[in-house]
Structure 1
Amino acid sequence: MGAVDMAFIITLNNGNITSIKSIYPGQMAHPTAVPPPSLRAIGVKKWYLHDALWEKDTEKGAKLAQEIVEYNTGEKTDVVVIVTPEAVDAILARVGPVYVEGRGYVSGNSIDFLREEQKNGYTRGEAVKSLMKAILDSARDRGKYVDLLDEVVKQNAQGNIIVIPQTALVEFLTYTGFEKLIR
């Protein structure tokens, strides 16, 4: 999957987001895991959150990332969701443009948007959160909500969104999908 540039601990209550905590990988390292030979060869002495997903075994990397976050924050998580820029761009194309407060309507390349926000003084976490909030706000429209769910499923099938354990995605979609569609 590559580098972990940003992580979040997202707390849900009955399928609704109640809090989002930004996690900057920075120097967060695993307390005991030894980096693989590929990383040691370039001088990496600790297995950092930033590098947790470099190896081919994404499930192992996700578990490692969970352990690093728990060790460094004290917060235990139940699920890891990995979202690639390709997935974000596909979601934006499907439900966008989305309204980002202070920026206006945004569509297109998410990486370009994030870089522009950072040039304007936002941290990476603030920039990602602003885009994530805009996407979630757009989903208040029932039609866009259904499109969002459909695109998440498509991106998961394409490997651009990975949920570990995978059963968590099915449970979440089942609960929130039916719950919000019948309201």
Structure 2
Amino acid sequence: MNSGELLERSLAYTLGRVTGVRPGSLERATPCAQWDLGALLDHLNDSLDALYEGLTGGRIGLFPTGDPDPVCDFRGRACAVLGAWAAGPVDSVVIGDKPLDVRVMTAVGAVEIAVHGWDVAQACGRPGPIPAALAAELLPVARCVVADADRGVRFAAPFDVPACARPGDRLLAFLGRSDSFSDPARSAFRE
């Protein structure tokens, strides 16, 4: 698995999802019960800022910024992140005071971006599955980084899905998301 390719494919999927964001829709509900669409886009932009900082400088700051047009800013940040990856990222980053291999950071970022792209699509009423091949590669990454301690804080409990479920459904279920936006269990979604 090439983490740069995962990142690129996650960004492509999510760029396609943000096309559904219309003016005046930033207050729409999302599968992340604590966030409306505007807050979700702000979070995505913060995530892209962190990825960019990690790819270009090896250190991630912990101070988010707000943006007046989160959709336009997402597109610009996505291009900047891809450009930073293509230019040859640093080997490792420091998050807080802990070093992390840049490939791990990039793979985790790909999970974050793709899953939140799915969240954006749900909020816009234009659901679309995460592409099967992408989801199949993201699921093992998610399983490595989402711990039991994250449940109830950043993620809801995982849902059971049949073994024959699509890879995207398995990924979403592992992260505590139901394929049904109207599912009352969504109130447990945090991030």
Note whether the superposition's TM-score is higher than 0.5.
no
Q: Which has the higher helix share?
A: 2
Structure of larger gyration radius: 1
More strand by share: 1
- With normalisation by structure 1, the TM-score equals 0.31
Q: Output the TM-score relative to the length of structure 2.
A: 0.30
